[in-house]
Structure 1
Amino acid sequence: MQNVSKGFAGVQALRDASLEVRAGEIMALMGENGAGKSTLLKILSGAHKQDNGTMLVAGNVQEFSSPDDAHAAGIRVIYQEPEVIPHVSVAENIYVGALPARGGLFSQRRVVECARAELARYGFDNAIDAETLGRDLSPAQRQLVEIMRALIGEVRIIAFDEPTSSLSDVEAERLFELIGTLRGAGVGIIYVSHRMPEVFRIADRVTVLRDGAVVQTREVSETTQEQLVGLMVGRDLSGIFHRQAHEPGDVVLAVEGLTTDDVEDCSFEVRGGEVIGLAGLVGAGRSELAHALIGDIPRQAGRILVDGTERRIANPGDAVKAGIGLVPEERKAQALLMHRSVRDNICLTVLRKLSVMRVVRQGSERALAQSFVRRLNIRTSSIENPVANLSGGNQQKVVLARWLSPKPRVLILDEPTRGVDVGAKAEIYDVVNELARDGMAIIVISSELPEILALSDRVLVMRAGRIVAEVPGREATEQSLVALAMDHEPVTTKELT
């Protein structure tokens, strides 16, 4: 890509950006949310047409008018938010648009056989079944479907956009092995990630984008994490992983014996001004516990008390009334109305409070949305801008604003910085600090242990649907939490009975 530019409604997303990827090379692409990475990938995939600049594949100038053109040229882009058809099988999702047939006739059995063979070939056969319907897949399984789909046909260039954000450690290891195999076969690989250890482990070179422009391309072996962060954000983030300690107040949330189909006999308390981390492996039941707390999953037993009063929570509406809010794991699938405005998305939970005689006071609605845009530093040209036009980090801030609008007593953050750059992480951490200082009870669920350790006053470890240990934040280490999550005895940790 040479001197590529692209603008949207007065916003310049890319400015004379150039990127070179060699055959058999892994090129990492890094930058803050809003730096232009997604726009660059969409131009590469044929989803967007550049305003200026040239794209060459194997030395030949290419003009893509659609994703089909890019696909025919051997280019694949695996996006962070997988697109899976809910009512068809994994096998059909993998082969969508290229269903294998015999004699011109489609065979369901043949498709399943081919999909199982491909899953086994790449080591994912134990992670996903070819006959499972798309609607029944976990976030990690949907990501695997997207990866398998990209490998069908002849591939010259493949771009991965935050591919490990929803994968377990085992699945991520298999993905790294797959990427190594592709590199050995001469495929050019673009790897977009905010996870520095991954970049330094697998990438050959790294290109940094900032404000739509390429800042620099470097050999990974000749740079450091600190240098990359400086190139990405242009400011000091040395204090990103340090939360201010606050003396906790009274118990705000008490959970007693909570049991569902997915979690069993979970009991814990969260005090005002306290941040509780929920740690555990993928499938341990952390998200399921969060959804049970807001009434999204039916309870079989247990009690939920807010400020000492038992609350009957049968649905998310009851949770809002009880003062409990959840920022869910998947912002696009579970939270955002992608084609509605920033204003609509922020104010969704408080429309009744903003209404008189069931008519929304638009002035109050605009004022509320503007206040959160300023408070959370949401980068948008207007509160009327569709939220689909925002970067991932700013979309996450919109979801956070929505659940801060009703002023909850308890806020649950499920993977709050997934797919978010280091600068946006620092801003979200600042918000957590501010909320805790103001007395809110906060639960943070994260697969990134450094995040759990940085934010938590106490850490609860889940395994197989149960809370198995509680660790004071000052005593917790990555090693002790992993050991507990995997049922290995750590040191200096209080095991629950």
Structure 2
Amino acid sequence: EEFNLVNTMTVGENIFLGRFNENHGMRGTHKKARELLDSIGSTINTYSMVGDLSASEMQMVEITKALSFDSKLIIMDEPSSSLTSEELKRLGVIINQLRDKGISIIYISHKLDEIFEYCDIVTVMRDGHVIDTKPVSEFTRNEMITKMVGRTLENEYPPRAHFVEEPLLEVRNLNTRKLHNINFTLHKGEILGLVGLVGAGRTEIIRALYGADKAHGHDILLRGQPVKIRNPKQAMQAGIGLVPEDRKREGLILPF
């Protein structure tokens, strides 16, 4: 789920960290890194700083680093936790490529769609115990859910009653260098989803709302009262919490 990469080093340096001499210096390191990235269809520049990469690109670097050791077994622990649907499709292609090369994969996930898509054999665990192991083709979705949770679920997504409550949050004309006239209302007890491809502006909306990015020309009403949020501290004082996309790099706000 988290990446073991050095943000202040390049992609090539991370892939061969501590092994530069094996590749005849830095030039050889980047050449070999380029070959490995090409082998999984990645176009990431080996001279790019890891700290400037997206989460999905970091995932590709981690996989390439494992391949650089000529690994015959790769363990993927919740690899899709920070990937979009399109990035997940790319990961699926890479998994199939690795399997075709004879590389074994342990794929750890609680997302059933991924298990049925990528896995050949499935081991279901619950409370630290192995419940069942058999080919994925012999599992039904309901059977797998039952073994995971220890009981039968009548409805995986039960219907919810929708109650119209008073507005909790109102955002009017939110603008940044990338966002233009964003408006929405969130009611008490409601879940608002923001969807879109990478670069569509989903994360930028949240960062601007939280005061992490500069915004202008907008109004924010919290419980009907106007509030000014210019930085994360003011957002926290207003009772707003943020779970960022990159928890490892952005998940702490400390006093200085």
Q: For the structure 1 residues 287 and 236, does the alpha-carbon distance in structure 2 shift closer, same or farther, using more than 3 Å as the test? A: farther
Q: Is the 8 A contact 2:23 2:29 kept in 1?
A: no
- CA–CA distance in structure 2, aligned partners of residues 236 and 81 of structure 1: 32
Q: State the secondary structure of the residue aligned to 1:173.
A: helix
Q: Which amino acid aligns with 2:19?
A: A
Q: Which amino acid aligns with 2:41?
A: G
Structure 2 equivalent of residue 89 of structure 1: 10
The equivalences for 1:283-302 within 5 A come to 283-302=199-218
The equivalences for 1:403-482 within 5 A come to none
- CA–CA distance in structure 2, aligned partners of residues 169 and 243 of structure 1: 25
Q: For the structure 1 residues 206 and 299, does the alpha-carbon distance in structure 2 shift closer, same or farther, using more than 3 Å as the test? A: same
Structure 2 equivalent of residue 114 of structure 1: 32
Q: Which amino acid aligns with 1:90?
A: V
Q: State the secondary structure of the residue aligned to 2:35.
A: helix
The equivalences for 1:34-183 within 5 A come to 80-99=1-20, 106-107=25-26, 109-125=27-43, 128-183=44-99
Q: 1:423-470: per-residue Cα shift (whole Å, max 9, x none)?
A: xxxxxxxxxxxxxxxxxxxxxxxxxxxxxxxxxxxxxxxxxxxxxxxx
Q: Which amino acid aligns with 1:263?
A: L
Q: CA deviation at 1:150?
A: 0.8
Q: CA RMSD in A?
A: 2.4
Q: CA deviation at 1:246?
A: 3.3
Q: For the structure 1 residues 322 and 162, does the alpha-carbon distance in structure 2 shift closer, same or farther, using more than 3 Å as the test? A: same
Q: CA deviation at 1:218?
A: 0.9
Q: For the structure 1 residues 100 and 168, does the alpha-carbon distance in structure 2 shift closer, same or farther, using more than 3 Å as the test? A: farther
Q: Is the 8 A contact 1:123 1:174 kept in 2?
A: no
Q: Is residue 2:237 matched to residue 1:316?
A: no
Structure 1 equivalent of residue 158 of structure 2: 242
- CA–CA distance in structure 1, aligned partners of residues 172 and 189 of structure 2: 20
Structure 2 equivalent of residue 214 of structure 1: 130
Q: Is residue 2:143 matched to residue 1:227?
A: yes
- CA–CA distance in structure 2, aligned partners of residues 272 and 178 of structure 1: 42
Q: What is the count of residue pairs matched by the alignment?
A: 255
The equivalences for 1:298-377 within 5 A come to 298-335=214-251
Q: State the secondary structure of the residue aligned to 2:96.
A: helix
- CA–CA distance in structure 2, aligned partners of residues 81 and 172 of structure 1: 16
Q: CA deviation at 1:240?
A: 4.3
* Same amino acid, percent of matched pairs: 40
TM-score by length of 2: 0.88
Q: For the structure 1 residues 90 and 155, does the alpha-carbon distance in structure 2 shift closer, same or farther, using more than 3 Å as the test? A: same
Q: CA deviation at 1:143?
A: 1.5
Q: 1:14-39: per-residue Cα shift (whole Å, max 9, x none)?
A: xxxxxxxxxxxxxxxxxxxxxxxxxx
- CA–CA distance in structure 2, aligned partners of residues 203 and 290 of structure 1: 35
- CA–CA distance in structure 2, aligned partners of residues 186 and 265 of structure 1: 51
Q: Is the 8 A contact 1:143 1:166 kept in 2?
A: no
- CA–CA distance in structure 2, aligned partners of residues 323 and 176 of structure 1: 39
- CA–CA distance in structure 1, aligned partners of residues 83 and 219 of structure 2: 32
Q: For the structure 1 residues 130 and 265, does the alpha-carbon distance in structure 2 shift closer, same or farther, using more than 3 Å as the test? A: farther
Q: State the secondary structure of the residue aligned to 1:112.
A: helix
* Structure with more contact order per residue of length (Cα contacts < 8 Å, sep ≥ 6): 1
**Structure richer in strand, relative to its length:** 1
Regions of 4+ moved over 6 Å: none
Q: CA deviation at 1:165?
A: 2.4
Q: State the secondary structure of the residue aligned to 2:148.
A: helix
Q: State the secondary structure of the residue aligned to 1:141.
A: helix
Q: CA deviation at 1:102?
A: 5.7
- CA–CA distance in structure 1, aligned partners of residues 192 and 86 of structure 2: 26
Q: CA deviation at 1:332?
A: 4.0
Q: For the structure 1 residues 159 and 102, does the alpha-carbon distance in structure 2 shift closer, same or farther, using more than 3 Å as the test? A: closer
- CA–CA distance in structure 1, aligned partners of residues 85 and 238 of structure 2: 36
Q: Which amino acid aligns with 1:117?
A: E
- CA–CA distance in structure 2, aligned partners of residues 134 and 185 of structure 1: 27
Q: State the secondary structure of the residue aligned to 1:245.
A: coil
Structure 2 equivalent of residue 454 of structure 1: none
Q: CA deviation at 1:221?
A: 0.9
Q: State the secondary structure of the residue aligned to 2:228.
A: coil
Q: Which amino acid aligns with 2:99?
A: R
Q: Is the 8 A contact 2:40 2:97 kept in 1?
A: no
Structure 1 equivalent of residue 180 of structure 2: 264
- CA–CA distance in structure 2, aligned partners of residues 291 and 81 of structure 1: 21
Q: CA deviation at 1:311?
A: 1.6
Q: Which amino acid aligns with 2:92?
A: F
Q: For the structure 1 residues 192 and 319, does the alpha-carbon distance in structure 2 shift closer, same or farther, using more than 3 Å as the test? A: same
Structure 1 unaligned segments of length 5 or more: list them.
Answer: 1-79, 338-347, 350-497
